[in-house]
A and B are shown apart, each in its own frame.
Chain A
Amino acid sequence: MSYKVTEENNISTVYLDGEIDMDVTEKAKEVIMPLIEAKKEVHLNLKDVQYMDSSGISVLIESHQKATELGTKVTLKEISKSVLKVIMMAKLEQILNLD
């Protein structure tokens, strides 16, 4: 997994790239969580994520819950077909902010 972070209008966008599994979830959290803890609005761009398993889904849930707790928001952007399928299998499409 690789990533890129951009800032615009007080929104941090994290572009994730590659496959997100148990081996890279800590790295993903290290990138995303400090932005949420800084109470920034975070967009996670998932267009280049070709695979996500239950560990990756856990990162999305944890990010969403932390943001809600701190009064900010995480929005999933340009979700790839394969990731959307896993989100729907987990029945999270009504819980997470999908755009």
Chain B
Amino acid sequence: MSQSQIINLDEKRDFEVNSSNLKHVRSFCREVFEKLNINQDLKDELVLAIAEAAQNIVKHAYKNEETEDKMEIKISVSNGYLEIGFFDKGRPVEKDKIRHRKIDDIKPGGLGTFFIQQIMDAVVFKEGEKPWINHLILSKNLNN
């Protein structure tokens, strides 16, 4: 798909950090990706990757604890290059401990990170700038 067919955009939204808001995260993503001229399969994959990353914030940065904190998700497309930023104020991510389970080790759990890595071109964890603690960046070249 050529980049001339993909518009530039920059949209962000806050969500309270809890599992019941994951459906709202998905709705936001679907709303944004509806504006992009990309195929439905890719849209569905991107929604899954974003929802898995948001789920990881709930499960790992906040350990499923009740909080009034919000996370922010920012979706940007520029020249056919998609970048999704996740900002949260949970526990600092220990980058060295993030790994998906071996895919042939069949057991419940540990697949979210695998899905994200399968779908996206790059996954980068950064220290968040105040007031944020964590800043995760998922990126993908939509021109390919």
Contact = CB atoms under 8 A, between A and B. Distances in A.
Interface of A: 19, 21-23, 51, 53-55, 57-59, 61-62, 65, 82, 85-86, 89-92, 95
B102 to A, nearest CB: 11
Contact of A19 (B26, B107, B110): B26
Contacts of A95: 106
Summarize B's interface: helix, strand, loop or mixed. Answer: helix
Nearest to B64: A22
B114 A90 contact: yes
A54 B50 CA distance: 12
Interface residues of B, number: 26
A53 B108 contact: no
B44 A54 contact: no
> Which secondary structure dominates where chain A touches chain B?
helix
Nearest to A91: B103
A90 B23 contact: no
B136 interface: no
B55 A54 contact: yes
B55 A53 contact: yes
Nearest to A52: B48
Interface string B91-107: 00000000000011011
Contacts of A53: 48, 51-52, 55, 112, 115
Contacts of A89: 115, 118
A85 B44 CA distance: 10
B137 interface: no
Contacts of B126: none
5 contacts: A51-B26, A54-B55, A54-B112, A57-B111, A61-B108
B57 to A, nearest CB: 11
B59 interface: yes
A89 B8 CA distance: 29
